[in-house]
């Protein structure tokens, strides 16, 4: 299993250029929260040095140095204003000016950046009108200096505040429409340039009457800039997460799977939107309404676009999975577990692995592919166990091999039996539902958490690892840590950092819908 879903970057003359997404700080704003530089350091497994910054809400071209010596040279270029910086921004205000230069004195006062004309200027920006985009105006800005919020303050001072910049007079919008388009400079006699793709809000073809069209286009464009998903045709990743509250969109190979959260069915306008997406991306689309608990979980797909089939295969980081549209509310692979599956892949070798609430056994498959000594898979559903075995076969694994066990059983009952048999595991994975019913009763994570954790700890060998995940909406990651403190009275363990979520899901400062913790038993 190799990582095929990788963050994009360009390396030139010791410079790492990235196309920063909006909502991401340039560097860590506080302990435990990664910024852009930390994210790319993890991706490249090397130290990077910050030489300039973009505001959190600003997207686009950003450069890092790969050595302290190069960082000093680049910093000098920025300080001496020898870097040509081009920005694009959108405004909903008009002016008779088409090209002008503005200077002012920018300073920070009471944690707010302000621009003054009555002091000697320390900032200078040239503005050039490009074109009208419907009711909006597209401008180019070239900052000759690098003061914080410079373009935003200068645009506001000239009556063309950036759309979405409520801090500096801009109208409300779904994002700040300011983008660092390109960087150019001469480094040791070599001309170096980096230019990003034009954002969705700056392209006339993406500006439609309904705001959801643009938000969805922006969400797709964000994943394209990060991962180049258009080249990952067989892979699986999320294309729209929390950009819209009404639905989520996942790519599973040649299919897009839409989780529909509105109580009402899709309108004609909604379906036309997805038909347009289907043609543009050359994907088949399945839309599944997420029902309230108690409704029929096998309700029909609301809508399909293209010549769809009830079953198909897709990959995630090179591992093959069967997806289904005729079994339950989800197609068979939860993509928010992608980084956790990679972590399991790295830690399962030569271990005895137990996968509880296994669903279709993504964790079991990657454990087996990693060379686990044995893999024990447990789920209350015979249907999911059969599906799991098929996923083994798709990846060249024999589910009948004596190294692999499949149990149709209540997980807590299985754990109690394991305790009686004094069986231990080196790695336990547990991703339970928030709520579930079986012939053995009702499972509730809020009520059964302590019992479940205690049973798992008794089944975990010394120095063994436990990965626990939950989508329970009423808990945060902090709540999980607090609940674990009670267990320390009976067990000795260390809490390790869980893998960070992929950027196709939450940003670092957002509380994730899926919470994960890792324990190592002492």
Residue 300, pLDDT score: 67
Q: What number does CATH give the domain 10-206? A: 3.30.2350.10
Q: Hey, is 225 helix, strand or coil?
A: helix
Instruction: Give me the DSSP letters along 244-308.
Output: -SSEEEEEETTEEEEEE--SSPPPHHHHHHHHHHHHHHT-EEEEEE-PPTTS-TTPPPSEEESS-
CATH architecture of 335-521: 3-Layer(aba) Sandwich (3.40)
For residue 70, pLDDT beyond 50: yes
Residue 294, pLDDT score: 47
Residues 336-363 have a mean pLDDT of 97
For residue 205, pLDDT beyond 80: no
Nearest to 115 by CA among 155, 171, 85: 155
pTM, full prediction: 0.92
Q: What is the pLDDT of residues 225-283, one digit of tens each?
A: 999 999 999 999 999 999 999 999 999 999 999 999 988 888 998 999 999 999 999 99
Q: How many Å is the Cα radius of gyration of the chain?
A: 26
Q: What is the pLDDT of residues 435-469, one digit of tens each?
A: 776 666 677 788 888 999 999 999 999 999 999 99
**Share of residues in the chain with pLDDT > 70 (%):** 96
What is the CA angle 195-197-201, rounded to 5? Answer: 135
Instruction: Work out the mean pLDDT of the chain and round it to a whole number.
Output: 93
Q: What is the pLDDT of residues 329-348, one digit of tens each?
A: 899 999 999 999 999 999 99
Residue the block writes with tokens 């599973």: 252
Annotated catalytic residue, options 55, 213, 379, 504: 55
Instruction: Give the 3-state secondary structure of 83-96.
Output: CEEEEEEEECCCCC
Instruction: Give me the DSSP letters along 23-76.
Output: T--SS-SBTTB--HHHHHHHHHTS--EE-S---TT-EEEEEEESSHHHHHHHHH
Nearest to 432 by CA among 332, 356, 354, 319: 356
Instruction: Quickly state the pLDDT bin for 198 (edges 50, 70, 90).
Output: very high
Residue the block writes with tokens 């392209």: 203
For residue 350, pLDDT beyond 90: yes
The pair phi, psi for residue 212, each rounded to 5°, is -65, -30
The fold for domain 211-322 equals Transcription Regulator spoIIAA (3.30.750)
The domain spans of the chain are 10-206, 211-322, 335-521
Residue 199, pLDDT score: 93
Q: Which residues contact 91 (CB under 8 A, 6 or more apart)?
A: 136, 137, 139, 155, 160, 161, 162, 163, 170, 177
Q: What is the pLDDT of residues 159-178, one digit of tens each?
A: 999 999 999 999 999 999 99
Report residue 348 as tokens. 């399962």
275 exposed, middle or buried (CB, 10 Å; 0-12, 13-18, 19+)?
middle
Question: Is 245 annotated in the active site?
Answer: no
Q: How far apart are CA 251 and CA 137, in angstroms?
A: 33
């Amino acid at each position: 299993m190799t990582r095929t879903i990788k963050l994009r970057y360009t390396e030139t003359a010791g410079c790492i250029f990235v196309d920063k997404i909006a909502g991401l700080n340039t560097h860590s704003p506080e302990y435990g929260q990664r910024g852009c530089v930390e994210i790319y350091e993890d991706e490249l497994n090397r130290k990077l040095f910050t030489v300039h910054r973009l505001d959190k809400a600003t997207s686009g071209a950003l450069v890092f140095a790969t050595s302290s010596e190069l960082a000093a040279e680049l910093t000098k270029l920025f300080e001496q204003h020898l870097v040509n910086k081009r920005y694009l921004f959108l405004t909903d205000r008009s002016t008779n000016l088409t090209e002008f230069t503005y200077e002012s004195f920018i300073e920070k006062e009471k944690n707010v950046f302000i621009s003054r004309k009555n002091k000697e200027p320390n900032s200078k920006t040239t503005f050039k009108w490009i074109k009208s985009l419907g009711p909006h105006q597209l401008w180019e800005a070239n900052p000759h200096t690098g003061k914080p919020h410079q373009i935003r303050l200068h645009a506001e001072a000239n009556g063309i505040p950036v759309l979405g910049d409520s801090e500096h007079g801009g109208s409300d919008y779904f994002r700040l429409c300011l983008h660092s388009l390109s960087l150019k400079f001469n480094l040791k006699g070599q001309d170096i340039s980096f230019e990003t793709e034009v954002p969705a809000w700056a392209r006339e073809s993406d500006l439609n009457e309904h705001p959801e069209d643009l938000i969805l286009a922006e969400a797709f464009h964000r994943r394209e800039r990060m991962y180049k998903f258009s080249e990952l045709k067989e892979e699986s990743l999320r294309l729209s997460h929390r950009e819209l509250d009404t639905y989520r969109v996942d790519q599973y190979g040649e299919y897009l799977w839409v989780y529909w959260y509105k109580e009402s069915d899709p309108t004609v306008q909604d379906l036309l939107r997805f038909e347009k997406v289907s043609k543009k991306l050359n994907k088949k689309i399945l839309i599944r309404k997420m029902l309230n608990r108690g409704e029929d979980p096998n309700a029909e797909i609301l809508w399909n676009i293209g010549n769809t089939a009830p079953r198909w295969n897709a990959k995630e980081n090179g591992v093959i999975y069967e997806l289904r549209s005729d079994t339950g509310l989800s197609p068979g692979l939860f993509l928010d577990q992608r980084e956790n599956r990679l972590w399991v892949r790295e830690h399962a070798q030569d271990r005895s692995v137990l996968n509880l609430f296994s669903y279709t056994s993504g964790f079991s498959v990657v454990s087996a592919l990693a060379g686990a000594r044995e893999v024990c898979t447990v789920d209350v559903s015979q249907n999911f166990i059969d599906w799991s075995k098929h996923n083994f076969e798709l990846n060249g694994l024999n589910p009948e091999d004596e190294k692999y066990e499949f149990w149709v059983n209540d997980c807590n009952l299985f754990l109690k039996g394991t305790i009686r048999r004094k069986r231990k595991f080196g790695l336990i994975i547990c991703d339970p539902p928030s709520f579930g019913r079986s012939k053995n009763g009702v499972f509730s994570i809020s009520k059964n958490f302590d019992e479940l954790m205690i049973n798992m700890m008794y089944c975990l060998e010394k120095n063994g690892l436990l990965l626990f995940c939950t989508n329970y909406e009423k808990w945060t990651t902090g709540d999980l840590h607090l609940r674990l403190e009670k267990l320390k009275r009976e067990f000795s363990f260390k809490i390790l950092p869980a893998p960070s979520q992929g950027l196709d899901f939450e940003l670092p400062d957002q509380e994730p819908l899926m919470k994960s913790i890792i324990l190592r038993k002492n």
